[in-house]
């Protein structure tokens, strides 16, 4: 299945993978910093952004297969990979397979249990439904700090600082992505089950103010994946690219230096 991507920068190749309901534009803020040192390939996962949906169930494994196909298509030999949320889970899966040289996962999915998983799934679904109803009012809401809190408070520690145009683009992407429901259903019935070491070095960087995938899930990642490196992203929400682009860029560059 072809995937749409954007490529820029110089250096060793680095694939960036967004989260559920998002697209490659989520990396725009740290992209300039990353592209100074890496050949960056930011992708739209199947069913999001400009990429068509999969013809099969979009499980995390199937989405990882799609990224592997892109790696082969581009003729890359074990690039580094980084991802946020769903993209973080896919990054860890690629490291488990040994497809990549290293991985950095920002608040990855796959480590929520019980009510945590149900809460995250329901919260994202409700946010998408509310944004759809509010669609005519989105420009006005995004222009005011209180409106940005309403639209992005779930995902960002400091929503009032998110540029209105970026927020509007992100909310429109959430509303319009055809792969959302199928991917959400597949994602939140999934839990990381492997308890072995990964075939490539990996870093889990958890946002300290994550209100969607709670920071305590980092402890599970540390316990379930022997040898993984774990760091915190202070004063950041679930989508840390908006809260602190330099910190995110540094975490990715350090985590993919191998």
Look up the CATH number of the domain holding residue 185: 3.40.50.1820
Domain assignment of residue 95, yes or no: yes
Q: Which position has the token pair 């993209």?
A: 87
Cα 62 to Cα 172: distance, rounded to the nearest angstrom:
25
With respect to residue 10, please indicate whether it lies within any of the assigned structural domains: yes
> Which pLDDT score, from 0 to 100, does residue 125 have?
94
Pairwise CA distance, residues 18 & 85, whole Å? 7
Report the distance separating Cα 93 and Cα 200, nearest Å: 10
Alpha-carbon gap, residue 150 to 258, rounded angstroms = 40
Cα distance between residue 182 and residue 45, in whole Å? 13
Residue 160 is assigned to a structural domain of this protein: no
Note down the domain range covering 9: 5-115+181-255
Residue 247 lies in a domain: yes
pLDDT for 179? 96
CA 4/CA 52 separation, integer angstroms: 9
pLDDT at 143: 87
Structure tokens at 176: 């319009």
- Domain-located, residue 135: no
Closest CA to 159 of 125, 127, 126: 127
User: How many domains does the chain fold into?
Assistant: 1
Q: 123 in a domain, yes or no?
A: no
Confidence at residue 145, expressed as pLDDT on a 0 to 100 scale = 85
**Residue 55 maps to a domain:** yes
**pLDDT tens digits for the chain (258 residues)?**
689 999 999 999 999 999 999 999 999 999 999 999 999 999 999 999 999 999 999 999 999 999 999 999 999 999 999 999 999 999 999 999 999 999 999 999 999 999 999 999 999 999 999 999 999 999 998 888 888 888 888 899 998 888 888 899 999 999 999 999 999 999 999 999 999 999 999 999 999 999 999 999 999 999 999 999 999 999 999 999 999 999 999 999 999 986
Rg (CA), the chain: 17
Q: Is residue 77 part of a domain?
A: yes
For the chain, how many helices (H) and strands (E)?
Answer: 11, 7
Q: Where are the alpha helices (DSSP H) in 113-178?
A: 115-133, 138-142, 145-152, 164-176
Token couple for 196:
């072995």
């Amino acid at each position: 299945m072809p995937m749409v991507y954007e490529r820029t920068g110089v250096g060793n190749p680095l694939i960036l993978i967004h989260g559920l309901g998002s697209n490659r534009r989520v990396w725009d803020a740290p992209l300039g910093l990353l592209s100074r040192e890496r050949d960056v390939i930011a992708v739209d996962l199947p069913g999001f952004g400009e990429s068509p949906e999969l013809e099969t169930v979009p499980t995390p494994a199937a989405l990882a297969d799609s990224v592997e196909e892109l790696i082969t298509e581009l003729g890359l030999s074990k690039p580094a990979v980084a991802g946020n949320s769903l993209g973080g889970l896919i990054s860890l899966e690629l490291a488990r397979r040994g497809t990549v040289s290293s991985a950095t996962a920002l608040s990855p999915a796959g480590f929520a249990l019980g009510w945590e998983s149900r809460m995250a799934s329901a919260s994202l679904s409700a946010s998408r439904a509310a944004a759809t109803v509010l669609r005519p009012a989105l420009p006005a809401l995004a222009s005011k700090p209180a409106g940005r809190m309403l639209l992005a408070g779930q995902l960002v520690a400091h929503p009032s600082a998110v540029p209105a145009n970026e927020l509007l683009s992100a909310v429109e992407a959430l509303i319009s992505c055809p792969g959302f429901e199928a991917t959400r259903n597949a994602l939140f019935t999934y839990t990381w089950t492997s308890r072995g070491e990964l075939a490539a070095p990996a870093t889990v960087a958890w946002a300290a103010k994550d209100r969607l995938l709670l920071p305590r899930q980092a402890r599970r990642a540390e316990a379930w994946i022997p040898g993984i490196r774990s760091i915190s992203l202070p004063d950041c929400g679930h989508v840390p690219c908006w809260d602190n682009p330099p910190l995110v860029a540094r975490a990715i560059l350090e985590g993919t230096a191998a």
